[in-house]
Structure formats: structure tokens, C-alpha cells
């Protein structure tokens, strides 16, 4: 299949920046693990309680900074859209438009490559890249747990932490799918603006829905951020609705990816 050839070509083109970004983020989060101090963060949690409700909603409904899972939820997973998401929205929203604007797509589409395979190849490249980055970050965090004396293995639920990385990876796929869908029919600037705009809107709804009037609070269900909240899992070790929320995120990505393929297949691009 041409899909794999396109993925391989894109990965070879981006492998240096991918390795640098993965290395930087992995080392950063390995170093970040050293900041965890149950006694210190237990004290900070009391200070955190005095913060406005809107600020506390940003990291999820449940939090416990004195537990390692709660620590990761606040400082890694709840902020992953900022650490990784914006970077991949930038990439996914500009990939195809950049090829059209630079006229390099003319050579690609003049070859016997179905547009469906071309689109899926571009999309899968972003998925593989974020998967590799998340694997590097996860391994660095797990390694940090083992080598740094400030973090004790007691009270750490490794199965939940590993699953949380998988869960958060699925959420990252929804962000990539959002930016990528706009890239199939808009210019790079418009795709980027709309991709970021939609994600920021989802973030506002998903994080601050409790601040809305009660009659309007069900709007939370349109936001992918509502379904990505892992605070109950990592703090209270409760798995309720986790499977359902993952299915919603996967369904969102499938719908947008399918739409991307259909839209790009019908788009008029003179060769």
C-alpha cells in the first residue's frame, strides 16, 4: 500500500525534529518527577483549596497532590494539550495546505497514488509521531520512579499510570484529527486558526461547564476535554465511565478522519 510508503517518507523527513522533541520532553519529565514530595504537596493542596473554583476546575474535578497519580494528573495529563497538543495541531493543520501552497503536491498527485491513501498516510504519520513521543515520556517517567529516591514505589499504581498515558494518547489523537480535518479544505493559516479556535472552545466548555447555569451544563458533552478528564481514575482509582469516554474520543477521531478523506477526495486541486 502507498499509505506505508507515505508514512515512511514523512517520518524520514521529520525524524530529526521528532527525536529532538521526544528527547527534550522525555528528559524534562524525568527531571520533573524529582519535584514530587508528598509532604510538600500535601501542604500546597491546602493552599490550592483557597483558589477560585474556576482555577481548580482546570485540573479536573478530583485532585490529590500528595499522591503521585494526582501529581501527574495536575502537572502532566491535564496540561498535555498545551505541552503536546498545540505542537501537533500546528503540524497537522499545515501539512497538506503547505504542500498545496508550495506546489509540491502537484508531483505527488500526478503519480498513481489514490487520494485516500495520500490523506491517510499524512494522518497516520502524525499518529505515529505522537505515539513515539508518548512512549518516550512514559518510559522516562517510569524510569524516574525507579531511580530517584524522592519517589517511593509505595502508593503508586503503575497500571493506572500506564493506562493514563494510553488514555491521554487517544485524547491527543482527537486534537490531531481536529487540526487535520481543517487542513483538507482550507489554507494553512485558516486551518490553523480554526483548529486552535475549536480546541480552545472545547477546552473552555470542558473545563468550566460547572460555572454555567444549571440548564446549560449539559453542553459539557460536546467537548472532547470533558471525556479526557482522568482525575477520578488517578486520584480515587475509580474506572467508572472510562471505557465509554474512550469510545466517544475514538468515535470523534474516526468521524473526523473519515470526513477528511471524503473532503480531500472531492477537493478540486488542478495538477
pLDDT of residue 78: 87
Does residue 154 fall inside a structural domain? yes
Residue 88, pLDDT above cutoff 70:
yes
Within the chain, where are the H helices? Answer: 2-33, 38-49, 53-57, 68-75, 80, 86-101, 105-109, 115-147, 158-183, 188-208, 224-227, 231-236, 242-266
CA distances from 115 to 101, 121, 200, 268 (A): 17, 10, 30, 12
Which domain range does residue 55 map to? 2-266
**C-beta separation of 88 from 176 below 8 A:** yes
Angle 24-189-222 from CA coordinates, rounded to 5°: 80
- Per-residue confidence at 101, pLDDT binned at 50, 70, 90? confident
CA distances from 226 to 48, 202, 210, 229, 238 (A): 22, 8, 11, 6, 16
Residue 89, pLDDT above cutoff 60:
yes
Does residue 271 fall inside a structural domain? no
Residue 48, pLDDT above cutoff 70:
no
pLDDT of residue 144: 87
Does residue 180 fall inside a structural domain? yes
pLDDT of residue 75: 85
Average pLDDT over residues 25-34: 91
Q: What is the pLDDT of residues 204-250, one digit of tens each?
A: 898 888 888 888 889 999 999 999 988 889 988 899 899 999 999 99
Residue 201, pLDDT above cutoff 90:
yes
Query: Regarding predicted confidence, which is higher, 60 or 168?
Result: 168
Average pLDDT over residues 158-182: 95
- Per-residue confidence at 175, pLDDT binned at 50, 70, 90? very high
Domain count, the chain: 1
Alpha-carbon span 78 to 58, nearest angstrom: 7
- Per-residue confidence at 123, pLDDT binned at 50, 70, 90? very high
Does residue 238 fall inside a structural domain? yes
**C-beta separation of 224 from 171 below 8 A:** yes
Within 110-187, where are the H helices? Answer: 115-147, 158-183
Query: Regarding predicted confidence, which is higher, 147 or 151?
Result: 147
First to last CA, the chain: 22
Does residue 56 fall inside a structural domain? yes
Alpha-carbon span 34 to 54, nearest angstrom: 28
What's the mean pLDDT when you consider all of the chain? Answer: 86
Where do we find the cell 473519515?
258
**0.85 exceeded by the pTM?**
yes
Amino acid at each position: 500500500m502507498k499509505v506505508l510508503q507515505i508514512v515512511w517518507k514523512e517520518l524520514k523527513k521529520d525524524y530529526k525534529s521528532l527525536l529532538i522533541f521526544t528527547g527534550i520532553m522525555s528528559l524534562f519529565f524525568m527531571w520533573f518527577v524529582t519535584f514530587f514530595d508528598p509532604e510538600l504537596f500535601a501542604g500546597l493542596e491546602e493552599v490550592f483549596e483557597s483558589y477560585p473554583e474556576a482555577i481548580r476546575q482546570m485540573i479536573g474535578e478530583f485532585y490529590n497532590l500528595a499522591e503521585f497519580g494526582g501529581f501527574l494528573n495536575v502537572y502532566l495529563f491535564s496540561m498535555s494539550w498545551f505541552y503536546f497538543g498545540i505542537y501537533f495541531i500546528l503540524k497537522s493543520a499545515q501539512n497538506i495546505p503547505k504542500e498545496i501552497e508550495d506546489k509540491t503536491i502537484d508531483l505527488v498527485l500526478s503519480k498513481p497514488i489514490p487520494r485516500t491513501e495520500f490523506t491517510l498516510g499524512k494522518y497516520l504519520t502524525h499518529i505515529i509521531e505522537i505515539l513515539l513521543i508518548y512512549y518516550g515520556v512514559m518510559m522516562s517517567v517510569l524510569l524516574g520512579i525507579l531511580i530517584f529516591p524522592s519517589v517511593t514505589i509505595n502508593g503508586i499504581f503503575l497500571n493506572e499510570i500506564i493506562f493514563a498515558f494510553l488514555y491521554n494518547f487517544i485524547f491527543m489523537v482527537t486534537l490531531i484529527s481536529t487540526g487535520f480535518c481543517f487542513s483538507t479544505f482550507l489554507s494553512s493559516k485558516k486551518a490553523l486558526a480554526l483548529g486552535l479556535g475549536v480546541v480552545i472552545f472545547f477546552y473552555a466548555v470542558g473545563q468550566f461547564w460547572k460555572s454555567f447555569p444549571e440548564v446549560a451544563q449539559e453542553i459539557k458533552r460536546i467537548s472532547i476535554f470533558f471525556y479526557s478528564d482522568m482525575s477520578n481514575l488517578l486520584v480515587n482509582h475509580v474506572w467508572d465511565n472510562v471505557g465509554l469516554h474512550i469510545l466517544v474520543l475514538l468515535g470523534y477521531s474516526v468521524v473526523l478522519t473519515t470526513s477528511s478523506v471524503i473532503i480531500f477526495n472531492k477537493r478540486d486541486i488542478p495538477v
